[in-house]
Amino acid sequence: MFDLDRWTEIYQTLAKNKLRTALTAFGVFWGIFMLIIMLGAGRGLEHGIQKGMGDMATNSMFMWTQRTSMPYKGFPRGRFFNFNNEDTRAMLQQIPEISQIAPRIQGYAQDGNNNVVRNERTGAYTIQGDMPAYNIIDPVKVTKGRFLNPNDVNSNRKVAVLGKKVVADLYKADEDPINTYIRLQGVYFQVIGVFESRKNDNQAEYDNQNIIIPFTTLQKTYNYGDAVGWYSITAKKGIPVSQMEAKIKQFLMKRHDIHPEDTRAIGSWNVEKEFTKMNNLFTGIAGLIWIVGIGTLLAGVIGISNIMLVVVRERTREIGIQRAIGARPAVIIGQILSESTILTLIAGYAGLVAGVAIVELVNYLLSMSGGNTGMFANPEVDFSIAITALIVIVFCGLIAGIIPARKAIKIKPIEALRYE
């Protein structure tokens, strides 16, 4: 392996025709380069979509009421109903699969008019009535102050957490909003925190214009009684969300006298199911990338194999002399395999380094731009993938040398010595 004469011979063979060697190596270089670029782009797309969903709990679901589509127990079709506080308590007591439950309700500006006042500044924003558990299920980034706590809800405190866009609209750039007061629906609320959405695109823009107050306080402020807008719920570890979802729907339909086969009365969004679909999609994309990348790499390897056949033919007399003076077939095979592997490894490693460099450069430029990258963010190549690519390179180099090596050992010394 470390025979200096062998390495010198390999170098001389590859350097004998530099243009041919370079063109042959480029096929392998391009194959591994494109594989790394596509894998990095695939990860960037995956990160972008995941970023769009923020840090939402993957074992969660959202549930809301809709109009009934079937008459039942004297109630007509098209009846509208609301969840209520008793539903929340009943679910906590009778649905053991639930880990976290966060009822939520919204307060709107009437007729599109401004509903928030702070000194001489006003604005129209969505007011969210939340429980502390909501920030576990679909968390936001609290940049100042704090989020709601159980005491805020239990005591119906008049406190508010503002989105960063609300702060930008209602406060001067150098003002600290913490412990100041804003007026919602004629009621003064103390600002206890500022938050920023963890999502991106339009959803982040929408979230950053929200004002969050305690769930119970909003019910009283807007005279909603005990109505609940919708639920955010997570399942306990090891329990499929779909199983919990079906049980909760059946439970609530019975409580609100809804036909057991009415599938439209309660709407829901199963986050776990969507994440599973998304993961399956990216698994498929990664598989396709590997197929295309390895196919491109194999095209380069075939080129190397063809060139090695040419080299074997050019060195027929040399191989014949080696066989005549007693060189074993293993020595000849090792020499050919070494040449093809070294050529493949050098070209492939160069492609790997170039591909990783391009991916890291794109990642750096995206991070330095500071803008919203939408559905593409943080492209990267895992270290394990780089190691796998190197293994693929070595394996392909061995494959490229097998056919030429077998042809070389089949050369008979007498015929080789006569070869012109």
Summarised one tens digit per residue, pLDDT across range 286-298 is 888 888 877 777 7
Q: What's the pLDDT at 135?
A: 92
Report whether pLDDT(153) > 80: yes
Report whether pLDDT(375) > 70: no
Per-residue confidence band for 86, with pLDDT thresholds at 50, 70 and 90: very high
| φ, ψ for residue 211, nearest 5 deg | -120, 125
Q: What's the pLDDT at 9?
A: 61
Q: What's the pLDDT at 51?
A: 66
The pair of structure tokens assigned to 321 is: 């002399």
The pair of structure tokens assigned to 200 is: 């991106």
Beta bridge partners of 118: 121
Q: How far apart are CA 68 and CA 263, in angstroms?
A: 9
Q: What's the pLDDT at 226?
A: 92
Query: Is residue 122 domain-resident?
Result: yes
Return the amino acid letter for 361.
L
Query: Is residue 260 domain-resident?
Result: no
Q: What's the pLDDT at 319?
A: 61
Answer whether 246's CB lies under 8 Å from 97's CB.
no
Query: Is residue 245 domain-resident?
Result: no
Query: Is residue 139 domain-resident?
Result: yes
**C-alpha closest to that of 158 among 221, 109, 116, 115:** 221
Beta bridge partners of 142: 195
Q: What's the pLDDT at 215?
A: 95
Chain-wide mean pLDDT for the chain?
A: 82
Beta bridge partners of 102: 232
Report whether pLDDT(265) > 90: yes
Of the residues 207, 229, 251, the one at which a domain ends? 229
Of the residues 229, 263, 298, the one at which a domain ends? 229
Q: Which of 70-74, 362-366, 407-411 has the lowest mean pLDDT?
A: 407-411
Q: What's the pLDDT at 80?
A: 92
- Of the two residues 11 and 357, the one the predictor is more confident about is 357
Return the amino acid letter for 143.
T
Strands 126-130 and 98-107: antiparallel
Per-residue confidence band for 145, with pLDDT thresholds at 50, 70 and 90: very high
Percentage above 90 pLDDT, the chain: 38
Query: Is residue 86 domain-resident?
Result: no
Report whether pLDDT(330) > 70: no
Return the amino acid letter for 167.
V
Strands 210-214 and 126-130: parallel
**Average pLDDT of the residues in 262-282:** 88
Q: Do 317 and 385 have their domain in common?
A: yes
Q: What's the pLDDT at 283?
A: 83
Per-residue confidence band for 30, with pLDDT thresholds at 50, 70 and 90: confident
Per-residue confidence band for 324, with pLDDT thresholds at 50, 70 and 90: low
Q: What's the pLDDT at 333?
A: 67
- Of the two residues 26 and 16, the one the predictor is more confident about is 26
Q: Residue 93: count other Cβ atoms within 10 Å of its Cβ.
A: 9
Q: Do 303 and 407 have their domain in common?
A: yes
Q: How far apart are CA 159 and CA 166, in angstroms?
A: 15
Q: Do 185 and 302 have their domain in common?
A: no
Per-residue confidence band for 8, with pLDDT thresholds at 50, 70 and 90: low
Report whether pLDDT(110) > 60: no
**C-alpha closest to that of 314 among 192, 416, 415:** 416
Question: Is residue 173 left, alpha or beta, with left meaning phi > 0 and alpha meaning psi from -120 to 50?
Answer: alpha
The pair of structure tokens assigned to 195 is: 């938050």
Q: Do 215 and 285 have their domain in common?
A: no
Q: What's the pLDDT at 198?
A: 85
Report whether pLDDT(178) > 80: yes
Answer whether 42's CB lies under 8 Å from 289's CB.
yes
Report whether pLDDT(92) > 60: yes
Domain of residue 151 covers: 103-229
**Average pLDDT of the residues in 352-366:** 85
Per-residue confidence band for 266, with pLDDT thresholds at 50, 70 and 90: very high
Q: How far apart are the first and last CA of the chain?
A: 31
Q: Do 360 and 287 have their domain in common?
A: yes
- Highest mean pLDDT: which of 30-34, 44-48, 416-420? 30-34
Q: What's the pLDDT at 14?
A: 64
Q: What's the pLDDT at 313?
A: 65
Query: Is residue 259 domain-resident?
Result: no
**C-alpha closest to that of 311 among 347, 342, 340, 344:** 340
Q: Do 292 and 413 have their domain in common?
A: yes
Q: How far apart are CA 10 and CA 4, in angstroms?
A: 10
In the chain, how many domains are there? 2
Q: Do 360 and 289 have their domain in common?
A: yes
Q: How far apart are CA 45 and CA 260, in angstroms?
A: 41
- Of the two residues 279 and 226, the one the predictor is more confident about is 226
Query: Is residue 32 domain-resident?
Result: yes
In tens, the pLDDT along 298-323 reads: 777 777 777 766 666 666 666 666 66
Query: Is residue 37 domain-resident?
Result: yes
SS (H, E, C) the chain: CCCHHHHHHHHHHHHHCHHHHHHHHHHHHHHHHHHHHHHHHHHHHHHHHHHHCCCCCCCEEEEEECCCCCCECCECCCCCCCEEHHHHHHHHHHCCCEEEEEEEEEECCHHHCCCEEECCEEECCEEEEECCCHHHHCCCEEEEECCCCHHHHHCCCCEEEEEHHHHHHHCCCCCCCCCCEEEECCEEEEEEEEEECCCCHHHHHHHCCEEEEEHHHHHHHCCCCCEECEEEEEECCCCCHHHHHHHHHHHHHHHCCCCCCCCCCEEEEEHHHHHHHHHHHHHHHHHHHHHHHHHHHHHHHHHHHHHHHHHHHHCHHHHHHHHHCCCCHHHHHHHHHHHHHHHHHHHHHHHHHHHHHHHHHHHHHHHHHCCCCCCCCCCCCCHHHHHHHHHHHHHHHHHHHHHHHHHHHCCCHHHHHHCC
* Cα 249–chain centre separation: 30
Q: Do 110 and 48 have their domain in common?
A: no
